[in-house]
Amino acid sequence: MTAEPVPARRRPVLGVLVVMGVMLLQVATDLVAGRESARILARLAFMSLELPMLMFALSAAFRWSIRQRMSAARGLATSIGIATGIGGAFGVLYGVVAMHVPALRLHFPNGVSLARTSLFGVLNAQLYFGLWALAFVYPVAVESAGARALEAQRLRSDAELGRLRAHLEPHFLLNTLNAIAGLVTEDPRGARRLLVCLGELLRDAVQETSELQRLDRQIEWLRRYAQILETRHHGVLRFRWEVASECEEAMLPRLLLQPLVENAVKHGALRRTDGAGQVVVGASLRADGALVCVVEDNGPGMPDADVRAGAFGVQAVRRRLELEVPRASLRFETSGRGTRSIVEIERQGP
C-alpha cells in the first residue's frame, strides 16, 4: 500500500507543531533541572524570537536554492551560514542582556564574555538548524521521493504497454493478411473487398490515440474484423453479437478483445469437424455496475484452460488489464461444448 503524501498546505503547520513541541520540551527540561525562573523565561523569550526568524530564513533559503538549482553541498553551506549568522547575533544579544541582568548569566568556567555567548548561540543555532531540517525539509524529501517512485513506475508501465502494442498490432496484422492471402486466388474480388476492410481497420487503429476506448467503438471495430474472418472461412464460421445497449459507453483498453476473438476462432470454432463453428461476443453490466465481456466459441473445448491462457495474445490481455485497469480480471471456462473467455472490469470510482 502506498503511503499518502503530506498535503502542501499542511507541511508548514506540521513543521511549526514540531518546533513548538521541541520548545516546550526544552522548557520542561529546565524546570526539571531546577533552573531559576528568570533564566527559563528569558530562554523562552529568546527562543520565541530566534526560532521563527531562523525557520523563516532557512525556509526562504531552501526555496531559493531550489530555484537556483544549487548543488546539495552549496545549499547545505548556505543554510549553515544563515544559522551561524542568526545564532551568533542572538548569542551576542543574550550576552549584552545578561551583563545587565546577572540572573540571566550563563555559568561558564572561565567567566562570561560576548565571545562565549556568541559561540554558544552559534552552536545552539546548529541544533535548531537540524530541527528545521527534520520539521520542514524531511516531509518534503519523503513526498518528493514517493512522487519520483510513482513517476518511475508510471514510465515503466507506459514502456511496457508500448512493447505490448508493438507486438500485438503487427501480430494482428500478420494474421489478417494471411487470412486475405488465402482469397487472392480463390476469390480475387472478395480479397480486394477485404483489403478495403483491412484499410479501414488500420485507419481506426492509427487514428485512435487514447489507451482507453468506448465499448461500442471496439465492437464496431471487431465487427469489421469478424467480416474478414467470416469471408475467409465462408460457410464454416459465423459470429453472433450480444452486446447490451446500457454498457456501450463503458471504457476498456483499446484492442483488448481482439486477441480473445482470434483465439476463439483459431483454437475453438474452426476445430469443429462439422463446419458449424460459431463465436459469440457479448457484453453486459452486472447489478454492481461491473462490465462483463464474454467471447465464447462452440469448439471442442480444451483439456486445460491454461493451455490457451499461455498464448501471447492472452498474456498481453492479462498484462494490459493489470497495468491499465487494476480492478479487472480475465478467466476461462472450458468444457466439451466450447470455451468462454470472460473479462470483468469493476466499476471505477469510490
Question: Would residue 291 be called left, alpha or beta, if left means φ above 0 and alpha means ψ between -120 and 50 degrees?
Answer: beta
- The pLDDT assigned to 242 comes to 95
More confident residue, 242 or 38: 242
How far apart, in whole angstroms, are the C-alpha atoms of residue 227 and residue 320?
Answer: 26
Domain ranges of the chain: 11-151, 182-345
Pick the residue with more confidence: 280 or 46?
Answer: 280
Reply yes or no on whether the pLDDT at 67 is more than 90. Answer: no
Residue 302: the pLDDT is 76
Percentage of residues of the chain with pLDDT beyond 70:
68
Using alpha carbons, list the distances in angstroms from residue 187 to 184, 231, 337: 6, 10, 33
pLDDT at 141: 72
Amino acid code (one letter) for 43: R
According to the model, what pLDDT value does residue 5 have?
45
**Per-residue pLDDT, 16:** 65
When mean pLDDT is compared over 14-28, 115-129, 252-266, 315-329, the highest value belongs to: 252-266
Given a cut of 70, whether residue 293 has pLDDT beyond it is: yes
Q: In this structure, which topology does domain 182-345 adopt according to CATH?
A: Heat Shock Protein 90 (3.30.565)
Between 165 and 56, residue with greater pLDDT: 56
Mean of pLDDT values over 134-143: 72
| The pLDDT value given to residue 284 | 95
More confident residue, 257 or 37: 257
- Check if the beta carbon of residue 347 is closer than 8 Å to that of residue 292: no
> Comparing C-alpha atoms, which of 129, 139, 126 is closest to residue 15?
139
Please give the Cα distance from 310 to 280 (Å, whole number).
22
Burial call 290-317: b when 16+ CB within 10 Å, e when fewer: bbebbbbbbbbbbeebeebbeeebbebb
The sign one gets for the Cα dihedral 228, 230, 232, 237 is positive
Per-residue pLDDT, 278: 96
- The yes-or-no verdict on residue 4 having pLDDT over 60 is no
How many Å apart are CA 346 and CA 348, to the nearest integer? 6
Residue 168 has pLDDT above 50, yes or no: no
Dihedral of CA atoms 158, 162, 164, 168 in degrees, nearest 10, equals 150
Which pLDDT score is estimated for 344? 94
**Is 2 a residue whose pLDDT tops 50?**
no
Q: What is the pLDDT of residues 71-98, one digit of tens each?
A: 878 878 888 888 888 888 878 887 777 7
* pLDDT at 257 > cutoff 50: yes
**pLDDT level of residue 178 (50, 70, 90 thresholds):** confident
- What integer pLDDT is reported at residue 247 of this predicted model? 92
Mean pLDDT of the chain: 76
